[in-house]
Amino acid sequence: MSVNQQAHTGPPYGQPQPGYQGYQQPAYGGQPLPGVPQSQYGAYNGPMPGYQQPVPPQGYFPSLGFPSKGSPVSLNSDTSSLAPNFIGSLRAPPTSGAPPPASGASLPSGHLAYSQFGHGDVQNGIPASAAPMQRPPASQPFLPGSAPTPASQTSTFQQYGPPAAGVQQLSNHVAGMTIGSTTASAPPPAGLGYGPPTSVPPVSGSFSATGSGLYTPYTASQGPPPTSVSQGLPLAQPPFPSQPISTQRLPTQVPGFAPPPSSTGIGPSSYPPTTGAPRPPSMPGPPLPGQTVAGPPTSQPNHVSSPPPPSTMTGPHPGPPMSGLHGPPPPTHPPQPGYQMQQNGSFGQVRGPQPNYGGAYPGTPNYGSQPGPPPPPKRLDPDSIPSPIQVIEDDRSNRGAEPFVTGVRGQVPPLVTTNFLVKDQGNASPRYIRCTSYNIPCTSDMAKQSQVPLAAVIKPLATLPPEETLPYLVDHGESGPVRCNRCKAYMCPFMQFIEGGRRFQCCFCSCVTEVPPHYFQHLDHTGKRVDFYDRPELSLGSYEFLATVDYCKNNKFPSPPAFVFMIDVSYNAVKSGLVRLICEELKSLLDYLPREGNMEESAIRVGFVTYNKVLHFYNVKSSLAQPQMMVVSDVADMFVPLLDGFLVNVNESRTVIASLLDQIPEMFADTRETETVFAPVIQAGLEALKAAECAGKLFIFHTSLPIAEAPGKLKNRDDKKLINTDKEKTLFQPQTSFYNNLAKDCVAQGCCVDLFLFPNQYLDVATLGVVTYQTGGSIYKYAYFQLETDQDRFLNDLRRDVQKEVGFDAVMRVRTSTGIRATDFFGAFYMSNTTDVEMAGLDCDKTITVEFKHDDKLSEDSGALLQCALLYTSCAGQRRLRIHNLSLNCCTQLADLYRNCETDTLINYLAKYAYRGVLSSPVKTVRDALINQCAQILACYRKNCASPSSAGQLILPECMKLLPVYLNCVLKSDVLQPGPEVTTDDRAYIRQLVTSMDVAETNVFFYPRLLPLTKADVDSDSLPAAIRNSEERLSKGDIYLLENGLNIVVWVGVNVQQGLIQNLFGVSSFSQISNALSTLPVLENTFSKKVRSIVDMLQVQRSRYMKLIIVKQEDKMEMLFKHFLVEDKSLSGGASYVDFLCHMHKEIRQLLS
Amino acid sequence: MATYLEFIQQNEERDGVRFSWNVWPSSRLEATKMVVPLACLLTPLKERLDLPPVQYEPVLCSRLTCKAVLSPLCQVDYRAKLWACNFCFQRNQFPPAYAGISEVNQPAELMPQFSTIEYIVQRGPQTPLIFLYVVDTCLEEEDLQALKESLQMSLSLLPASALVGLITFGRMVQVHELSCEGISKSYVFRGTKDLTAKQIQDMLGLSRPAVPIQQGRPLQTPEQPAISSRFLQPVHKIDMNLTDLLGELQRDPWPVTQGKRPLRSTGVALSIAVGLLEGTFPNTGARIMLFTGGPPTQGPGMVVGDELKTPIRSWHDIEKDNARLMKKATKHYETLANRTAANGHCIDIYACALDQTGLLEMKCCANLTGGHMVMGDSFNTSLFKQTFQRVFNKGFNGEFQMAFGASLDVKTSRELKIAGAIGPCISLNAKGPCVSENELGIGGTSQWKICSLDPSTTLAIYFEVVNQHNAPIPQGGRGAVQFVTQYQHSSTQKRIRVTTIARNWADAQSQLQHIEAAFDQEAAAVLMARLGVYRAESEEGPDVLRWLDRQLIRLCQKFGQYNKDDPNSFRLSESFSLYPQFMFHLRRSPFLQVFNNSPDESSYYRHHFVRQDLTQSLIMIQPILYAYSFHGPPEPVLLDSSSILPDRILLMDTFFQIVIYLGETIAQWQKAGYQDMPEYENFKHLLQAPLDDAQEILQTRFPMPRYIHTEHGGSQARFLLSKVNPSQTHNNLYAWGQESGAPILTDDVSLQVFMDHLKKLAVSSAS
């Protein structure tokens, strides 16, 4: 964002126009005019609201506003712990003033300018927090310096700054607040760097101030002075004064007011820049383009800012601005009447317009309408609103270099999109556990108030990069792992040894337990055991214990697990060539079964079953010359017909297996059986494992709805008419409870089911997937499977699935220190009680999300501890316990909570929560609940942590500034808002998929990665910089690659150079590109190589092989691609980012009022 | 004139029929006073070397309720080309083909020597014989190996066109598909679940694809012989395949933990075998051959649980009503047996185990379908191997001595009615005028189905004289009985054998001597024994014995000559003289005594008793004892303890066992090795003689008897000691002096005591 903003800002005025026009049709164009001013305003306004309140801050506001935009700021905050707030604010200003500042901190591009600003900001920030007075000045200086571009802003800053440091601070705070993100960041800094004490207090003070005295005064003061309109104007003017725009703004503002505020909220920063830039031009031009647009644009920015206006409205700004906006709008309206309406509509969210929003947001129609009534609707400048790309890039550049050391409690790890190394110094790596917040409110009241879910996303068997060491295996001997007597927590770094090491006190329940004699060790002078560094369980966050026989089923050490391959050989499967393909692949794949590190061959045994209406088992005992086939037709009462010879060692039975795999396709080549069974197949596998007394995994390759007479027989109940009705949930629920019971049995035996589906029509994934889901298995779906196009994908998935590390018969328990408790679990597993998560199989990609609730007060001193213990059987049949420990901070100030949140994790949780919700509630209810919760989160922040700025300003916590955009993506996802082309099976499939995703996967799934291939540097192995998921960002002359973890879409613009097309596709013209390609042709040229290497690199990163789709611009397939452009309005009615942001703002304002 | 003995023998030779009475009392009242019912033993397929079958259809009486076959007994009007049915007196036209008959040009069926005649008829499609092996795999390795070899060997004995199928079972039941190349396929069924025939056929994919039945359009059911071909294949086609398949048979792989029996799903395996044939080849000759090495331990038909600590039921348990699984299991097998019989298939049971195998419960499978029942200790014994081989024996004309799907129709002249039959058959429920209301054995019908029979299969058929006392039969009147047996010959031909016999009527009051003289005490003993055994199946043992005793006493009272209350005056005529002795041994036989026998053994003995012919039956009742000594040629001696002498070698044939017993001295000589000394070659010959004779018996008997070679004091000597009449026991040893014989340690009464009591009771005026 910041970058963009900066960029925009850079060229501000000049560019604006083009940009706008380019961007947003007339509406925007129109906006430009007002927009410019507005943008500035917006920025200003944005800040303004905040500013307005603190009239003086106006200067700040701009800055602040920018800060808010300053999402970059937030980055800063992240990166530099300084005074995020300030920075935020600062940056924000920069953006407004000159994007540089905002981005400055975060973005390299803007760095220079920004840096200055940033510094300034920082300083400001620092001053604000630490020594507001002093720093302000400092900042001021900077500001001025930086001011150049944002002269006006700077000026404002300076002005403000100088006026009253305190004011500045306030303003800063406010700004921070407004920026939200900034503020959020600010607090932390305060806590951390700023002289936590001072800063914190100040911060808190300031924050609270907002609410409380200090702020109030300010607000009051602000309020009064700024009085909405006047403020806005003045403010704007002041900063802008230098610029002509300001004046323009005023006018524009009036009309745009609403807009500005809204924009300010989020976009402000970004908006300002862009708007700022454009505006000027637009201003001039605006009239022209502005036309109606002019008005609208402003309004749009306003949209974002719209809140501000309201805030202003609500705030001190009496009616003026308000009137200006709403009421006023009318006046201004004259020209803008329509606009206002729209604006209102959009703004309306804020105000009356709500209806529109209601519609708009969910329905977007309003928005949609905007285009129609192009003129009025002004939109926020997309560049001014928090940009995921920017945030990701910032985090990558700031945190990617240094290893993340886990020694410190409550440390927020780098984003999942950042490549970083982890050094385990006592807490589990974020690869294993990520939390929504690393600072937990001390009381449940606080937690309730904030509405921030406390959840941990746990991936117990996560794969580590080769540079990191796997958890050490600890053997405590025959008596088993040392555990607390009462709560049974396992020995971990947080256990306190007392009495010279003879006893230890449990960090979870405080119970004192004798140290077993064989484990005794003396303590050193610091109370640490002498062998502290020798024992992983005392010094590391993650490690494994060797389990004793007490931890085994029936008190017997487990046998090595088994893999059973169960292949559908009905007509469809045979005809499509699938059966032959699988058999061919298995011949080689069987040599790559997972094995324990140093073992020569895998201990896993394999078995084979084929089936259609009946099941065929195969005896592949090594002593046989030929495999033997055993047909079981009694599907109503499934059993395993053989014991010896069904599960065999691959090496011993190699020739028999090869012979079998050769013959299977032949045997069924002439089959005419089209019906299949399904439940009996699982039962068969289950019985086989039972008979062999081992755990294992079934790989089922299935093609059709099981309609043959058998238990678990299903009907085709697909009914699109149910969508958007109260009965929609039934589509996600299994048809029959039969599969639930079956799943229960499977879990009891440790029988994990992986399902590969090849449907040509509805096959009821929701029901078929039940067992897979509850046993911790994976589903893979290849609709309309065709050998040529889907073969690679399927085979790669199969290989990965077979080879990946997996634990069996797993039980996971999450223990927490007193005060919180794990209350809810999401993921692919089964629970027979409320605490133990049981999984028949758990592979390295499966993730469990755990939600915590308070049951007592926590203390800031002791913090909170999590211990996740996973008991499982390794692929060699060894029973082990994997332990992950994580310590978190606790806070009494909400600001601390908001400063230590992780949005990606939060989204992961929210998505899972929502996706589970669709099972029991109408989808609309789920969506509304999501929006409501997020609005509450943000409103709480606004109310308690942000400065008491005008209500019209949208202020986002730095850590959560991407929450709206991501949340919108969740809301628009196929499960919650299906388009017409999304099948019921797709939805069920995705629903189950998401439930097991880790944070990185949900991140890219909801907000796909869009890479401009033509910008790739063919000489380096790095990826081109990602761009935001909006059609506006695409250029007709470029080729883009979009990936979301399931698909890779290569989009080719109509104007792409012929040479590139030739290089990449091997055809001479755009029209000759076949969109039936499933792989890129292998061509000997650098571009082709580069692109293919990018594709390969992406494929390696994901747990599933992504489907490659070629989409040509203006081709009918483009719809599919556009579906992934999540910042745009979606065809199914999903709101665009901008619209949603406005809606969010409206919601927040409603909550606040 | 020939004696009755000759007459009887001649009749048996020619017709395979032996009546208890060869002159019939002419009234119901008199007949009932005869005590031994009017009955006969019929061997329907008695081997007749001199009987070439005729190649045309029999001529039937046109009366629908009669349908008797033209026989030498019928009066024929050669000029009018008419014949009168001798049963219903219907006058019938000869069919056109008989236009040329005259007194000098008679068709075979009119010639007196052809009172038994066999027709070959062309009826229906000829289907090959079917042999379905049902093999238990819960065997010891050694046993299984032996069984596999026997089965492989048997393939070479089957007719090349015969269809074979293989079902194996253990914990599961596997139906092997025989047609496939490459991978061997089998359909597997859970051993605990009973399935209906329909389910089985569905699961085996035997049911025809469901064709929607449209009304008004006759449903065409194209014959699809190929559909079942997967499981039943001609031997010549899959000879090699099946040999390999059998070779690869493994022991049931499911683990048997200590203290457990292997899980054996015999009940389901049989059920599937029955269902398979039922669906594919109903009403054709088929043998289901069950080879089992232990009791069914799971599923329907379970005889005993798999816990070894629970022993399999004994007679003691059964008497105490402690055999909780028995009734259910029996019911299961009965249902199966009835289905099988209804389809005209038969079930053989080859049970080889040291413990019981559940024959008690399964016996009906063989009994009702005419299947074989063979009991041995192990499949790795010559007893089993040779017996099994002998199933496929061929007769003098190179044809298998087995026939299938027979139905026996009995027609009687008016004075007689049919009371029932005892033998390996089931009722066809053919009611008719000649069916008596009083049932003896399987009654209420004039037709029975015998799903499988061989030349020795013998049925006992009981009649009732219904002629009233006051309606005397004209002098010289004869009663007639016609037996019509339709069956599928092993060559797959359909044949009909018709036996028509006639006997004189006699007034019991005036001509009792005739009747008495025509009494066939051997046949009577067997017929009474069959009744006794039949009763013993359903009644308490002592009741049956009491019934037998009463009958014997009544017979003695009726036909004995004595002065009232003077036992010493009691005499029986020659034609009755052996009868009490038969009864004495019958009372001691395992057919009626369960002591010392397991329920399985009892079932086994009874099974054979009710199907063997008269000679064999008599051996079973009263074993034959031969003595070999230097004193003369081998001679039959009394089955008495007094026959056991030190310088004798005894050879006892009980039908089920061949016992060679060396007397004390002989045994000592043998130990001393005299037989190896050239100068005692005669001793060697003496030793060899019984062996050779035993060998002869062993060669011909089916099932092959248990061969026991023992000596004085040997543990196996018990087989001999338990059979002989305990004339010398520890109780009377000294009283009888020590001149000879060996004392038997028993409290059983000896024949002498028995006879004394019998005489006393017979002459007593009180009874």
Instruction: Say yes or no to pLDDT of B475 above 60.
Output: yes
Supply the pLDDT for residue A63.
Answer: 35
Supply the pLDDT for residue A949.
Answer: 74
Query: Are B159 and B296 members of one domain?
Result: yes
Are the Cβ atoms of B203 and A633 closer than 8 angstroms?
yes
Sign of the four-CA dihedral A140, A141, A146, A147: positive
Supply the pLDDT for residue B470.
Answer: 83
- Note whether A346 and A1139 are within 8 A (CB): yes
Instruction: Say yes or no to pLDDT of B217 above 90.
Output: no
Per the domain annotation, does B136 fall within a domain? Answer: yes
Tell me the shortest Cα–Cα distance from A1079 to chain B, in angstroms.
38
Per the domain annotation, does B737 fall within a domain? Answer: no
Segment B415-428 shows an average pLDDT of 94
Q: Measured between CB atoms, does B247 come within 8 Å of chain A?
A: no
Are the Cβ atoms of A626 and B186 closer than 8 angstroms?
no
Are the Cβ atoms of A633 and B204 closer than 8 angstroms?
yes
Tell me the shortest Cα–Cα distance from B313 to chain A, in angstroms.
30
Supply the pLDDT for residue A36.
Answer: 37
Torsion of CA A587, A589, A592, A594, to 10 degrees: -120
Query: Are B258 and B278 members of one domain?
Result: yes
Q: Which positions in chain A touch B177 (Cβ < 8 Å)?
A: 631
- Note whether A1089 and A1103 are within 8 A (CB): no
Q: Measured between CB atoms, does A626 come within 8 Å of chain B?
A: yes
Supply the pLDDT for residue A869.
Answer: 95
Per the domain annotation, does B350 fall within a domain? Answer: yes
Q: Which positions in chain B touch A692 (Cβ < 8 Å)?
A: none
Segment A1089-1096 shows an average pLDDT of 91
Q: Which positions in chain B touch A637 (Cβ < 8 Å)?
A: 190, 193
Alpha-carbon separation of residue A268 from A96, A383, B32, B640 (angstroms) = 7, 10, 124, 125
**Cα separation, B640 vs B663, whole angstroms:** 14
How many other CB atoms are found less than 10 A from the CB of residue B180? 15
Supply the pLDDT for residue B228.
Answer: 53
Residue where a domain terminates, one of B342, B358, B391: B391
Query: Are B359 and B445 members of one domain?
Result: no
- Note whether A1101 and A1040 are within 8 A (CB): no
Supply the pLDDT for residue A221.
Answer: 35
Beta bridge partners of A852: A454, A822
Are the Cβ atoms of B184 and A641 closer than 8 angstroms?
no
Q: What is the pLDDT of residues B302-341, one digit of tens each?
A: 999 999 999 999 999 998 988 889 999 999 999 999 999 9
Minimal Cα distance from A629: which residue of B?
B185
Domain hosting residue B680, numbered range: 623-724
Q: Which positions in chain B touch A708 (Cβ < 8 Å)?
A: none
Are the Cβ atoms of B187 and A643 closer than 8 angstroms?
no
Per the domain annotation, does B471 fall within a domain? Answer: yes
Segment A39-55 shows an average pLDDT of 37
Query: Are B387 and B424 members of one domain?
Result: no
Interfacial B residues in 185-224 facing A (CB < 8 Å): 185-190, 193, 195, 199, 202-205
CATH number at residue B509: 2.60.40.1670
Query: Are B136 and B118 members of one domain?
Result: no
Q: Measured between CB atoms, does A617 come within 8 Å of chain B?
A: yes
Segment A971-993 shows an average pLDDT of 89
Q: Measured between CB atoms, does B172 come within 8 Å of chain A?
A: yes
Domain count, chain B: 3
Residue where a domain terminates, one of B519, B536, B568: B519
- Note whether A64 and A261 are within 8 A (CB): no
> At a CB cut-off of 8 Å and minimum separation 6, what does B222 contact?
none
**Cα separation, B135 vs B252, whole angstroms:** 11
Are the Cβ atoms of A641 and B172 closer than 8 angstroms?
yes
CB contacts < 8 A, A to B, total 67
Supply the pLDDT for residue B741.
Answer: 64
Tell me the shortest Cα–Cα distance from B189 to chain A, in angstroms.
6
Sign of the four-CA dihedral B672, B673, B674, B675: positive
Minimal Cα distance from B188: which residue of A?
A632
Instruction: Say yes or no to pLDDT of A224 above 70.
Output: no
Residue where a domain terminates, one of B363, B391, B419: B391
Tell me the shortest Cα–Cα distance from A601 to chain B, in angstroms.
26
Minimal Cα distance from B182: which residue of A?
A626
Interface test with A, best of B137, B167, B180, B186 (most A CBs within 10 A): B186
Instruction: Say yes or no to pLDDT of B508 above 90.
Output: no
Angle (CA) A223 A224 A225, round 5°: 100
Q: What is the pLDDT of residues A891-923, one digit of tens each?
A: 999 999 999 999 999 999 999 999 999 999 999
Are the Cβ atoms of A624 and B248 closer than 8 angstroms?
yes
**Cα separation, B266 vs B303, whole angstroms:** 10
Per the domain annotation, does B706 fall within a domain? Answer: yes
Q: Measured between CB atoms, does B672 come within 8 Å of chain A?
A: no
For residue B365, give the H/E element and its range: helix B359-369
Supply the pLDDT for residue A545.
Answer: 94
Per the domain annotation, does B730 fall within a domain? Answer: no
Query: Are B270 and B173 members of one domain?
Result: yes
**Mean pLDDT for all residues in chain A:** 73
Interface test with A, best of B175, B176, B187, B252 (most A CBs within 10 A): B187
Query: Are B177 and B293 members of one domain?
Result: yes
Query: Are B78 and B199 members of one domain?
Result: no
Q: What is the pLDDT of residues B228-276, one digit of tens each?
A: 578 898 998 888 889 988 998 888 888 889 999 999 999 999 999 999 9
Supply the pLDDT for residue B153.
Answer: 93
Option in A629, A633, A637 nearest B184 (CB): A629
Are the Cβ atoms of B183 and A626 closer than 8 angstroms?
yes
Segment A405-429 shows an average pLDDT of 92
Smallest CA-to-CA distance from B70 within B54, B52, B100, B94 is with B94
Smallest CA-to-CA distance from B164 within B266, B279, B241 is with B241
Query: Are B19 and B94 members of one domain?
Result: yes
**Cα separation, B295 vs B333, whole angstroms:** 13
Per the domain annotation, does B602 fall within a domain? Answer: no
Q: Measured between CB atoms, does B184 come within 8 Å of chain A?
A: yes
Interface test with A, best of B166, B183, B231, B245 (most A CBs within 10 A): B183
| Greatest mean pLDDT range, A222-226, A974-978, B125-129 | A974-978
DSSP string, B501-518: EEEEEE-TTT-HHHHHHT
Q: What is the pLDDT of residues A357-409, one digit of tens each?
A: 333 333 333 333 333 333 334 556 777 889 999 999 999 999 888 899 998 99
Q: Measured between CB atoms, does A607 come within 8 Å of chain B?
A: no
Q: Is residue A358 packed enough to be buried (19+ CB in 10 Å), middle (13-18) or exposed (0-12)?
A: middle
Segment A850-864 shows an average pLDDT of 92
Smallest CA-to-CA distance from A156 within A238, A230, A97 is with A238
Q: What is the pLDDT of residues B149-178, one digit of tens each?
A: 999 999 999 888 899 999 999 998 999 988
Instruction: Say yes or no to pLDDT of B621 above 60.
Output: yes
Are the Cβ atoms of B185 and A629 closer than 8 angstroms?
yes
Query: Are B153 and B242 members of one domain?
Result: yes
**Cα separation, A600 vs B698, whole angstroms:** 62
Tell me the shortest Cα–Cα distance from A632 to chain B, in angstroms.
5
Query: Are B117 and B136 members of one domain?
Result: no
Supply the pLDDT for residue A570.
Answer: 94
Are the Cβ atoms of A634 and B190 closer than 8 angstroms?
yes
Query: Are B101 and B139 members of one domain?
Result: no
Q: Measured between CB atoms, does A645 come within 8 Å of chain B?
A: yes
CATH number at residue B255: 3.40.50.410
Q: Which positions in chain B touch A631 (Cβ < 8 Å)?
A: 177, 185-188
Q: What is the pLDDT of residues A275-301, one digit of tens each?
A: 333 343 333 333 333 333 333 333 333
| Greatest mean pLDDT range, A236-240, A947-951, B41-45 | B41-45
Alpha-carbon separation of residue A35 from A66, A222, A1136 (angstroms) = 15, 24, 19
Q: Which positions in chain B touch A617 (Cβ < 8 Å)?
A: 188
Supply the pLDDT for residue A405.
Answer: 92
Supply the pLDDT for residue A728.
Answer: 87
Supply the pLDDT for residue A220.
Answer: 34
Per the domain annotation, does B547 fall within a domain? Answer: no
Option in A627, A633, A639 nearest B183 (CB): A627
Q: Measured between CB atoms, does A634 come within 8 Å of chain B?
A: yes
More confident residue, A55 or A443: A443
Are the Cβ atoms of A629 and B183 closer than 8 angstroms?
yes
Supply the pLDDT for residue A191.
Answer: 33
CATH number at residue B646: 3.40.20.10
